[in-house]
Structure 1
Amino acid sequence: MRFLKWALGLVLLLGVAFVVGGLVLPASTHVERSVAIARPPAEVFAVLNSFQRFNEWSPWAGLDPQAQYSYEGPASGAGAKMRWTSQKPEVGSGAQTILESVPDSKVVVDLDFGSQGKAIATYTIVAGGAGSRVTWGFDSKPSDNLLERWLGAWFGLLMDKLIGPDFERGLAKLKQVLESPPA
């Protein structure tokens, strides 16, 4: 009987810890990387404000040459949308839609990874020196479901290591695309 009370107390304590822990875990995940590009903000903005050239600098474009891409809405600015479908898990399937477009300074993109969740990408462009400083940010918010929030928090702790290097490669490619002389 004493063991049963102790076991019940332990289960109750673990349940309370699970609920309280889920409520105090970080409310969001943020990752960002920056690069200096020797081009004026207007030129950088023109590339980021449309998905037409996205695969020229995307760190994921080369992972699946068989991936399918489609475009909807306007060619640039708010409402421009790109969908992708891939059989490779590292590319997956999803869509991205430009939500906000502030000329020469910011592009905010809604990312929809289907069953893997949603997030927001923000490209911020600041004039500086002989060009622009571009910051690529990623923000996700965990679910209100406590189990998903626990899993999201652990995943969030790894997120910088998971996508940070991809962002660095993508920004390096963006820099190369913009700084290379036209073909």
Structure 2
Amino acid sequence: MKFLKFLLFLVLIVLIGGAIYFATQDGTYQIEESTVIEAPKSVVYDIANDYKTWESWGPWKAEDPTMVWTYADKTSGEGASYSWQGEYDGSMTTTKAVPHTTLEQDLTIVTPGGERFPKVYWNFEDTEDGATKATWGMTGEHTIMDKAYFALSGMDFEAEQREMYAKGLDGLKKMAEEAITAYEINVDGLAEHGGGFYLYRTTSANAASISQIMGENYGGIMAFMNANNIKQSGMPFTIYNQMLENGAVIMTNAIPVKEKIVVAGETNVLSGFMPRTAALKVTLRGDYKNLSEAWARAYAALAEKGYEQSDQPPFEIYTNDPGEFPSPADWVTEIYIPIVDIQ
């Protein structure tokens, strides 16, 4: 009997010693992973901000096929939340959302040892080349039971979390980079364009330099308009005076104005007028790099419908400002091929 008491006493000492040891170990942690995503910051933020996207880009489904997600009425922005059931149940709520910059979230995980309440955070930063650095992290503090379990089982909690975050960021990167490449071409059919006055520059450009020369021309026109207090009355457009087979063009880059402008003095900005015209209209929603396909579709539709192109050169209108729509998938360009009036 004395031996049993002595043995129990030793076990108790070991247990107390172990508890003291694990209690004195630092249980706080901060784990984060980062990646660079070739997409605007607003696009990356909007995906991470909406819990309904997490099931698509996150790694959890592959690791636990039994997971079932439940979404609240609000799934993005401050106060948004969702929950899940699986190997470990849990929920998450967004407590802070600074558009295109920061997210802070409260995470609850139900483990065999009880509930855990880590804090999750996201940071989104512009890179010098226009991409986005996305950082996903988590902070918290392990309980004595957690610390004992990790030590005795050999589980590397931080390594597993880092691997999960890295996989998740890879999924987020893929989704964001695919999102900005989405585009749609629609043949709208016959339309009438009202025409009007405009200020312009005409120049030639090869296929490789079109975008650069367009930017220089529009910058020069806007500088002239600002210097002379001339207001823009519509969205910029380009008239293609000639389209050559090698991709080179002679083009007129123009900005609409309300009335005829008398241009005096030495300047390379001129005043023009476009008459009202009937045209075949095609709309591209997506990156400008898809314009060549959109133009091909427009001319194919012209031939298919049997319309006759008029002497007025074709043109394209940039109906929204990329500065206000960071994702190329949201850019809208209208193509017009003027036709001979149908009797």
Distance 1:53-1:26 versus aligned 2 partners, 3 A rule: same
CA distance in 2, matches of 1:155, 1:100: 36
In the other structure, the counterpart of 2:161 is: 163
Q: Secondary structure at the match of 2:111?
A: helix
Please give the alpha-carbon distance, in whole angstroms, between the structure 2 residues aligned to 1:114 and 1:12.
29
Q: Which amino acid aligns with 2:92?
A: Q
Q: Which has the larger radius of gyration?
A: 2
**1:25 aligned partner:** 25
What is the one-letter code of the residue matched to 2:29?
Answer: T
Equivalent residue, structure 1, for 2:120:
121
User: C-alpha distance in 1, partners of 2:83/2:59?
Assistant: 16
Question: Between Structure 1 and Structure 2, which shows a larger proportion of strand residues?
Answer: 2
Which string of whole-angstrom CA distances, capped at 9 and with x for unpartnered residues, describes residues 7-28 of structure 1? Answer: 8996686466435423421131
Task: Write out per-residue CA displacement over residues 127-168 of structure 1, whole angstroms, 9 at most, x where no aligned residue.
Answer: 11221111111222123xx44553367789711221222211
Tell me what 2:175 maps to.
177
SS in 2 for 1:53: helix
What amino acid is the match of 2:21? G
1:45 match: 45
- Please say which of residues 162-171 and 19-28 is displaced more in the overlay: 19-28
RMSD (Å) for aligned C-alpha atoms: 3.1
2:165 and 2:33 map into 1 onto residues whose CA distance is: 6
When the two structures are superposed, what TM-score results if normalisation uses the length of structure 2?
A: 0.44
Deviation per CA, 1:70-117: give whole Å up to 9, x if none. Answer: 11142311211111123xx3xx32111112112211111211112353
Query: Is the alpha carbon distance of 1:25 and 1:101 closer, same or farther for their aligned partners in structure 2, counting shifts above 3 Å?
Result: same
Code of the aligned partner of 2:58: S
1:107 and 2:106 are equivalent in the alignment: no
Distance 1:156 1:49, change over 3 A: farther
- Residue 39 and residue 153 in structure 1: after superposition, are their counterparts in 2 closer, same or farther (change >3 A)? farther
Contact 1:84–1:93 under 8 Å retained in 2: yes
Residue equivalent to 2:136: 136
Q: Kindly tell me: are residues 147 and 174 of structure 1, through their superposed partners in 2, closer, same or farther at Cα, counting changes over 3 Å?
A: closer
Maintained 8 Å contact 1:105/1:126: yes
- 1:28-107 mapped onto 2 (5 Å cutoff): 28-64=28-64, 67-86=67-86, 89=87, 92-107=88-103
* Residue-pair matches, total: 176
Distance in 1 between residues matched to 2:48 and 2:131, nearest whole Å? 15
- Alpha carbons of 1:156 and 1:66: their partners in 2 closer, same or farther (altered >3 Å)? closer
Point out where structure 2 has 5 or more consecutive residues left out of the alignment. Answer: 184-343
AA aligned to 2:148 is: W
TM-score (norm 1): 0.78
**For 1:102 and 1:156, how far apart are their aligned partners in 2?**
39
Higher relative contact order (CA 8 A, sep 6+): 1
Which 10-residue stretch deviates more, 51-60 or 7-16? 7-16
Identify if the C-alpha distance between structure 1 residues 156 and 54 changes in structure 2 by more than 3 Å, giving closer, same or farther: farther
